Structure 1
Amino acid sequence: MDNAQVNLEDRLRKLDEVENKVMLIMQHAGHALEELSKDKPIAKQADAHIHNFRNVVREVESELNSHLNYLSRISAGLPFEGNVYRETVELTLSAERLKIVQRILMDIL
């Protein structure tokens, strides 16, 4: 496999890990809320769940920022489709005009 394919697979694997961490965030939040909703919540357990929640949120935020920075880097300088639409239409029309000129020249010759 080439380097680009390996890089893509690595990025997709990391996004899968982020998805799993988001589910873990939900679990930590649920456990913290469950502990806090008890008649006599144990502060240490609630704090532990909240601490785990915050840590995983930071990890997810860091990884997503990394992906966004990567996407910003690779897309810098690339034209947006809205910006190239006019050029695409002009190219198509020019190709049609060229075909017409070719037909006229073929008829003359």
Structure 2
Amino acid sequence: MSPPMERIQILEAIEKDIITCLQSAGQAFMELSKDKPNSKQAEGQTHQFIKTLGLVESKLSDQINYLTQVSTGQPHEGSGYESQKVLQMAWHRLQHVRSRVDELERLKNKHMHSRSLAALGRPQQPQQQQQQQQQQQQQQQMASNNVSAQQPQTNSTTS
């Protein structure tokens, strides 16, 4: 049987012991709540309760110790948690490095493009191009306003 299945069976046995423990306590209380309790029977149930409770405590301590060993990274043949965690962290580091390399590549391409535009004598910034276009449009509007102001206005009224 595989180790995980053995652990599950052990936990099921502990669960049954807890049920037995609670039943013993319940029977002891039932006996003590009677009008004429049988002290020998109540005492027997109490001893059964204490004995089973000690057994449950011991088994649970073993399970807690096992889980402590597995979760602290100590070598254990039944656990792959540590290697999974190492793999996951390496994957995150790889993704981060890839994103940084992509960002640097993008910045390099942008810089190379702006240098090639500068070498050709073109403006480097698209913002500068927009400003120049706006200035040209304003100048054209002012020129057309000046032309319309210089044209004589015709009077449609006759004297």
- Classify the TM-score, shorter chain: 0.7 to 0.9
Counterpart AA for 1:98: V
Q: 1: CA distance between counterparts of 2:5 and 2:64?
A: 16
Q: Distance in 2 between matches of 1:38 and 1:68?
A: 40
Given the alignment of the two structures, is residue 68 of structure 1 paired with residue 64 of structure 2, yes or no?
yes
TM value normalised by structure 1: 0.73
Kindly state the Cα deviation for residue 25 of structure 1 after the two structures are TM-superposed.
1.2
TM-score (norm 2): 0.52
Identity of aligned residues (%): 33
Specify the SS of the correspondent of 1:23.
Answer: helix
Q: Which AA in structure 2 matches 1:52?
A: Q
Q: Deviations over 1:54-92 (max 9, x none)?
A: 1111111001000000011111248xxxxxxxx78x835
Task: Pick the structure with more helix per residue.
Answer: 1
Match of 1:55 in 2: 51
Q: Which residue of 1 aligns with 2:32?
A: 36
Listed one character per residue, the Cα deviations across residues 9-53 of structure 1 (whole Å, up to 9, x for unaligned) are 111111011111111111111100000011111111001100110
Counterpart CA distance in 2 for 1:51 and 1:95 is 66
For residues 60 and 31 of structure 1, the distance between their equivalents in structure 2, rounded to whole angstroms, comes to 19
How far apart, in 2, do the equivalents of 1:35 and 1:21 lie?
21
Aligned residues: 96
Q: How far does residue 102 in structure 1 lie from its aligned partner after superposition? A: 4.7
CA distance in 2, matches of 1:68, 1:100: 47
Name the CA distance, whole Å, in 1 between partners of 2:9 and 2:32: 35
Q: Which runs of 5+ in 1 are unaligned?
A: 79-86
RMSD of aligned C-alpha atoms? 2.9
**Larger RCO (alpha carbons 8 Å, 6+ apart):** 1
Aligned pairs for 1:1-109 within 5 A = 6-77=2-73, 91=93, 92-102=95-105
Distance 1:77 1:45, change over 3 A: same
* Structure exhibiting the larger radius of gyration computed from Cα positions: 2
